[in-house]
Structure 1
Amino acid sequence: MFKNSKKVPYIELLPIIVLSFIIVKLIDNIGAVGDFFSKFFSIIGAFIWGFCIAYILNPVMKYFERKFHIKRVWSLVITYTLFLGILVLFITIVTPKVIKSAGELASSIPEYVDIAQDWLNDNADKFEALNRLNVNLEEKFMEGMQHASEFLTSKLNVILSQAINITYSVAKAILGIVISIYILMDKEKFKSNFKRFIYAILRKDRATYFLKTCSEVNLIFSKFILGKALDSLIIGIMCFIGLGIMRVHFASLLSVIVGITNMIPYFGPFLGMVPAFIITIFYSPIQALWVLIFIFALQQFDGWYLGPKILGDQVGLSPFWVIAAIIIGGGAFGVWGMFLGVPIAATIKTFLDRFIQRRLAEKQLNVS
């Protein structure tokens, strides 16, 4: 009797209709959705910190276990001793110098404005062609510098006013360190429980496929993030040493900028080069030229030798897709999108490659 019953028309479209309805309602209430996720991530912030710290330190812990054949507890002690030592070193030595350089830069802006104004006055006769076009270069430049000064001053005020929030974030980070210890201590149990859960809710072949893909995604992210962090740290240190030898003002601040922006593939080196050149050119145009040449040479060394040596072909993406991932990620999520866009694009590529291979195999096609 059931075999002869008619199938409900378009029943397969019901999930799509329901999903479309949910998406429309979410878009209509995007503000409430954003507030919900903001509060949710704020609540679980310590666990996010813990997972990120554990994810970063896991390869270090595994290295000590394999290299010295020691128990988990001792590898954790060594790993966190190194981690906390580097953290304390950064907080007590690097951070004060960066803050001092930022403060000196902010206080030097009026002096740089005067220098620029004097230079414009001394070279006013060279801008006659522009004056014929009724372009008041000095006025426009001074207006831009005034806006830049006000912008930096307001940003410094915002930073100072956020001291309580920073303290709260530090507390969550400290709690995250404690949570990361427990995660690494029992990571095999977490991995086993996750594996059992996946096999419980999916068919065996799909569960195997999903776990294999997760393993590849984990390899992509770990190699990219850890490799890029090590690469950028080395570049930042080399930049600080080079700028120190050249006696460049605000060397610590400029080196931190170069190191951080170096985390962004392709565009990062140029983003870090521009502030260093602009800041230096106000008090010494000749030195600014040498700074530009030095950072450019440093980035070429990183791009042609150091980066490939550390990272290798860590994501398996062509330059076109890397650039596309950076532009799209940066446009959607800012700096974090520029940085994480590459490994996310590599993850999507991994899923697509596996899907295409499976579908071609089902159709018994060999397409090159």
Structure 2
Amino acid sequence: MIKIERKYWLIFGGVFLLYLGTRYWDSLMNVLQTIFHASMPLLVGCLFAYIVNLPLRVIENKLENIIQSQKMLKYKRVFSIVLSYLSIFLIIALVMRVVVPELISCVKLLVNGHTKSLAHITNLIQQNPQLEKYAHIANEAINGGKGTGSGFDISKVTNILMYGFGGTLKSVYSAANSVFSIGANILIGLAFSVYLLASKDHLKYQGYLLLDTYFYKISDKVMYVLRVFDESYSGYIVGQCKDALVLGGMTFLTMTVFRMPYAGMIAAVISFTALIPIIGAILGATVGAVIIFTVSPFKALMFIILIVVLQQVDNRITYPLIVGKNIGLPSVWVFAAVMIGGGVWGIFGMMFTVPLFSALYRLLKSDVYERQEAEINEVDDFI
């Protein structure tokens, strides 16, 4: 009887699976999509658990030093989980408490004073001949190429802003229909994250046991890769949050000193958008400038200048000290990661791909150094 080696069975199995995948591609994609949607609450729970685990580690270490009773130490994980979730919910509640009331008043101001704001823009355009020339070109484009005189028809622009850009109302309606499913996924994910955090040590042991049993030859390398990814993502999240808080605090203090409106809300918005690398502060500054413009165009200009100065201080001093050491990724690759991540997954992709590139960069750098040292040692031995 002819005995076929294992590697040939693996090759045959791989070719057969490749044939099935190409032959039934549409059915396979439908099955994978169904599995993905069904497992979405669990994926959300894993994400929540990873984020909550960051303060959980710190709190658990502090409790070990504080609690002296052995009986109480048995419940340190329970206390740590409760304190971690409470601290996160408290931060979210404080931000909402600051942002929501001022956001409501800002929306009211925008609704009641939109005519005044548009009048500011119109007067600015009409007082500047160069801007009026471009406004006339835009006005002709809005009217389908038909000239309507040198005046700037602001009503056309208003209609486009309110009702254009791909059917905003339709997008809002479709988003409202998905609120229930999103809420359900979040609640299930929160419950699942608690289970993951409560049994994380046991799950870690089981994972390592499976890895060491079936892939013992590469288990150490796999664990090293996992540690690098964990350090990159945890360091990025912690560093980015610290930098966002510092930037938000500087924004609030300087806006308060210069007596600018909506200091608390705009500082909170900038802190939130600063979590997005490179373009986050620009997005927050744009929102803040639009809001302040409804009150005073001059203060809006002052705010833009202020944010530019603060952004330079953050980029040159704060960000390298807080985040730079945790990421360890050159700025050119940070920019590439943001562009690729934003093009594939939007804003979430920007935050996801930066630590991904950081981990890959660190692994590649380590591997290159090891190979170069090995080649140098071989040359030395030969000599």
Shorter-chain TM-score: which interval? 0.7 to 0.9
Count of aligned pairs: 356
Aligned counterpart, 1:264: 276
**Correspondences of 1:1-368 after superposition (within 5 Å):** 29=26, 33=29, 39-69=34-64, 70=67, 71-102=76-107, 104-105=109-110, 108-121=113-126, 123=127, 126-127=129-130, 130=133, 139=152, 143-151=156-164, 155=168, 158-159=171-172, 162-163=175-176, 165-204=178-217, 206-243=218-255, 246=258, 248-249=260-261, 251=263, 254-281=266-293, 283-357=295-369
- Larger deviation: 301-310 or 287-296? 301-310
Distance change (3 Å), C-alpha of 1:210 and 1:92: same
Cα distance in 1 for partners of 2:169, 2:378 equals 61
Using structure 1 for the length normalisation, give the TM-score: 0.78
What's the offset of the Cα at 1:183? 1.5
Contact 2:114 2:294 in 1 (8 A): no
What's the offset of the Cα at 1:117? 2.6
Identical-pair percentage:
24
Cα distance in 2 for partners of 1:304, 1:359 equals 34
Amino acid in structure 1 at the alignment position of 2:43: I
Residues 23-70 of structure 1: per-residue CA shift (max 9 Å, x gap): 7668x749x83x655544443333223222221222322212222314
Contact 2:248 2:271 in 1 (8 A): yes
Cα distance in 1 for partners of 2:132, 2:244 equals 44
Cα distance in 1 for partners of 2:163, 2:303 equals 26
Using structure 2 for the length normalisation, give the TM-score: 0.75
Corresponding residue SS for 2:325: coil
Distance change (3 Å), C-alpha of 1:25 and 1:43: same
Residues 209-261 of structure 1: per-residue CA shift (max 9 Å, x gap): 11011011101100101221232134234434544554545555543442233
5+ residue gaps, structure 2, are 68-75, 140-149
Distance change (3 Å), C-alpha of 1:247 and 1:304: same
Cα distance in 2 for partners of 1:40, 1:63 equals 35
Cα distance in 1 for partners of 2:94, 2:168 equals 26
Amino acid in structure 2 at the alignment position of 1:114: A
Residues 268-326 of structure 1: per-residue CA shift (max 9 Å, x gap): 32333234334544653321221012212222232233323332421221111111111
Contact 1:224 1:343 in 2 (8 A): yes
Amino acid in structure 2 at the alignment position of 1:220: S
Contact 1:117 1:138 in 2 (8 A): no
Cα distance in 1 for partners of 2:323, 2:131 equals 52
5+ residue gaps, structure 1, are none
What's the offset of the Cα at 1:109? 3.6
Corresponding residue SS for 1:176: helix
- Larger deviation: 137-146 or 215-224? 137-146
Cα RMSD over matched residues? 4.0
Cα distance in 2 for partners of 1:266, 1:143 equals 34
Cα distance in 2 for partners of 1:356, 1:12 equals 31
Amino acid in structure 2 at the alignment position of 1:182: Y
